[in-house]
Amino acid sequence: MILVNENTRVVVQGITGREGGFHAERCMAYGTQIVAGVTPGRGGTLWQDKVPVFDTMEQAVRETGANCSLIFVPAPFATDAILEAVDAGIGVIACITEGIPVQESVKVYSYLKDKRVHLIGPNCPGLISPGARCKVGIMPGDIHRPGTIGVVSRSGTLTYEAVAQLTEAGLGQSTCVGIGGDPVTGTDFVDILKLFNKDPDTEGVVLIGEIGGAKEQEAARYIKRSFKKPVVALVVGATAPPGKRMGHAGAIITGVSGRAEEKIRALREAGATIVPSPGEIGVTMKRALRR
**pLDDT digits 0-9 by tens, 40-80:** 999 999 999 999 999 999 999 999 999 999 999 999 999 99
Of the three residues 98, 123, 148, the one that is the final residue of a domain is 123
95 and 194, same structural domain? Answer: no
> Among candidates 61, 64, 78, 103, which has minimal Cα distance to 19?
78
* 216 CA to centre of own chain: 15
The question of whether 23 is a catalytic residue gets the answer no
101 and 55, same structural domain? Answer: yes
Of the three residues 123, 158, 181, the one that is the final residue of a domain is 123
d(CA 97, CA 118): 16
193 and 90, same structural domain? Answer: no
The answer to whether the CB of 178 falls within 8 A of the CB of 159 is: yes
Percentage of the chain beyond pLDDT 70 is 93
Please check whether residue 133 lies inside any domain of the structure. no
Domain that holds residue 208: 139-291
Please check whether residue 144 lies inside any domain of the structure. yes
Confidence of residue 247 (pLDDT cuts 50, 70, 90): low
Whole-model pTM: value is 0.92
Of the three residues 65, 93, 123, the one that is the final residue of a domain is 123
Number of folded domains that form the chain: 2
CATH number at residue 35: 3.40.50.720
93 and 153, same structural domain? Answer: no
**pLDDT digits 0-9 by tens, 115-127:** 999 999 999 999 9
192 and 275, same structural domain? Answer: yes
